[in-house]
Amino acid sequence: MKRILLLFITCIGFSNLSFGQQDPLYAQYILNPLVINPAYAGLNNNFNAAISYRSQWGGFDGNPTTFNINGHISLVDNRVGAGLLIVQDKIGNITNTEFQAVGSYKLQLEDKVFSFGMQAGVINFKSNASNLNLADPGDPAFSTNENLSKPNIGAGAAIKSEKFFVGLSVPRLLSTTFKSSAGEQFDLYNQHYYLFGSYVFTMGTRVRLKPAVLLKSVKGSPLSTDLNFNINFDQLYQAGLFTRNFNTYGLQLQALLKDQFRLGYTFELPTGNSVGTQFNTHEIMLGIKMSFFDFHDRSISNF
């Protein structure tokens, strides 16, 4: 049985002259800022790898899903970072797949580190009209499938200490425009600007409070704001609450196992102002941290 898509994405994309695709949406960026900022590559002075899966609005036909695998490492006496990002983002009949190589350069500023990073790669766009249940099967706008690839570059900067982290980034700098087989022209991506900040308050020897805020801006859309409040116990376990634009509320959990493996889980519940509380979201992440070189940091970082 063909999946029924409420054409809230595809119809906009093919019926208008311009359509800006949204960046993949994450909640686990607070555990792994690399997914939104290339300057994080190697910033915690060891090797990190992670895999995550997000299913948004479960039960909604054609709901968004995002698969992300990434890894990064600190090199050259912790002055350089390098990494790789692979992302597959699906919504309805549209699939975006991207491969990004990431690099950063770090400067030690007393007890702080400043990092500038860039990423470059390819984004592949596919649409499969056969997955649509159309009111007019003969509509020429949906008569053929689309498959094309475009280059991408992104940039970011970050500064961190053991008390705070601040990062500014544009992961996809190129606004890519192409013409469909039906002759319609639209934008594959618009630039998304991210400003992320977090601070750690130490409450005795075992408990740390870690509030965070993420601001996201894109042309044609209102400013998006994430507010996070997390409590960390013994640097091993973390639990917190967050909201996105006060339309979605969520619970975040994280555990550090054997000082090496990170397991993170996020549950999001939209309100009636969004898609409705019956369409909740789940995001899970599994990460690993390892030290390969003598100059790698074997301690547990707040960021």
Domain boundaries in the chain?
10-290
The pLDDT value given to residue 274 = 66
- Cβ contacts of 84 within 8 Å, gap of 6 or more: 70, 71, 72, 99, 100, 101, 102
Q: Which of 131, 143, 128 shows the shortest CA–CA distance to 4?
A: 131
Q: How far apart are CA 194 and CA 215, in angstroms?
A: 6
Q: Report pLDDT for 263.
A: 96
pLDDT band at residue 273 under the 50/70/90 scheme: low
**Tens digits of residue pLDDT in 29-74:** 988 899 999 999 999 999 999 999 999 887 777 789 999 999 999 9
Q: Check: pTM over 0.85? Answer yes or no.
A: yes
Instruction: Please work out, in degrees rounded to the nearest 5, the angle formed at the alpha carbon of residue 55 by the alpha carbons of 92 and 208.
Output: 145
Residue 268: HSE in the Cβ half-sphere, 13 Å Cα cutoff:
27
- Average confidence (pLDDT) over 173-177: 79
Residue 192's nearest CA partner among 8, 5, 29 is 29
Kindly report the CATH number that applies to the domain delimited by 10-290: 2.40.160.40
Buried b (16+ CB within 10 A) or exposed e, 225-245: ebebebebeeeeebebebbbe
pLDDT, mean of residues 192-200: 96
| Helix (H/G/I), strand (E/B), else coil: 32 | coil
Residue 180: pLDDT above 90? no
The single residue listed with the structure tokens 């940091």 is 297
Take residue 186 and report the two structure tokens written for it: 């639209």
Closest by CA to 235, choosing from 259, 201, 266, 265, is 259
In a 10 Å sphere around its CB, with 0-12 CB exposed, 13-18 middle and 19+ buried, how is residue 298 labelled?
Answer: exposed
Q: Which two tokens stand for residue 161?
A: 């200490």
The CA distance from 221 to 137, in Å, is: 31
Neighbours of 34 (CB within 10 A): 29
Per-residue pLDDT tens digits for 281-298: 999 999 999 999 999 998
Q: Is the pLDDT of residue 12 over 80?
A: no
By the 8 A CB rule, do 189 and 176 touch? yes
Tokens 């050259």 -> residue: 76
